[in-house]
Structure 1
Amino acid sequence: MENVGDGNLWHFIEPYGEDYWLKPGEVFTVVPEVEGVDVWFSTALCQEGITVWLYEDGDPAKVVLEYTVTDADGERLECGHQRPPQPAGSGAA
């Protein structure tokens, strides 16, 4: 995934809803943790971000649950990477 836009872009990976935030010009890679798996991606796009599902062999009944997200340098990223702070009074915990 590459953010070629002017603002931050969220990237949600399902089924857990893990979020990773890309700044303009950043690139993230998502790969299954199990080698040899033929992964297909289902994506839903909107102006602010991308939601991704990973399926083995393109079968929606075979959701890939174990994956790794890395940056352009190969550094593993954790859920919430670069998540913007919640505005005061937003009700978020």
Structure 2
Amino acid sequence: MENAGASDLWLFIEPYGEDYWLKSGEVFAVAPEAAGSNVCFSIAVCQEGTVWLYEDGDPTKVVLEYTVTDADGKRLECGHQRPAGSGATKPG
């Protein structure tokens, strides 16, 4: 995912509702934890980018274990760069 816009982009990953915030020009990678998985992505673009990961493109096989990393390969945690007052909260 790359934020090619001028403002922050809210990346919202389902099914857990985890949020990550990309500054303009930033790139994040979303990948399954299991090596060799054939994963397809479903992305809805609105004020936030909502991402679902499906095994073999089958929407009944949601990938539950994934990682989000920055351009340097550093693993990011839910809430990364969340702006104060955004209204987003940690899931759970």
Percent identical across equivalent pairs? 72
Question: In the alignment, residue 84 of structure 1 is paired with which amino acid?
Answer: P
Q: 1:20-74: CA deviations, max 9, x gaps?
A: 000000000001000111000011111x220000000000110000000000000
TM-score (norm 1): 0.90
In the other structure, the counterpart of 1:24 is 24
The ranges of structure 1 where at least 4 consecutive aligned residues each deviate by more than 3 angstroms after the TM superposition are none
- Residue of structure 1 in register with 2:10 after alignment: 10
1:75 to partner: Cα distance? 0.2
Describe how 1:20-59 pairs up with structure 2 within 5 A: 20-46=20-46, 48-59=47-58
- TM-score by length of structure 2 reads 0.91
Give the aligned CA root-mean-square deviation in angstroms: 1.4
Residues of 2 paired with 1:36 and 1:73: CA distance? 22
In 2, the alpha carbon distance for the partners of 1:86 and 1:54 equals: 28
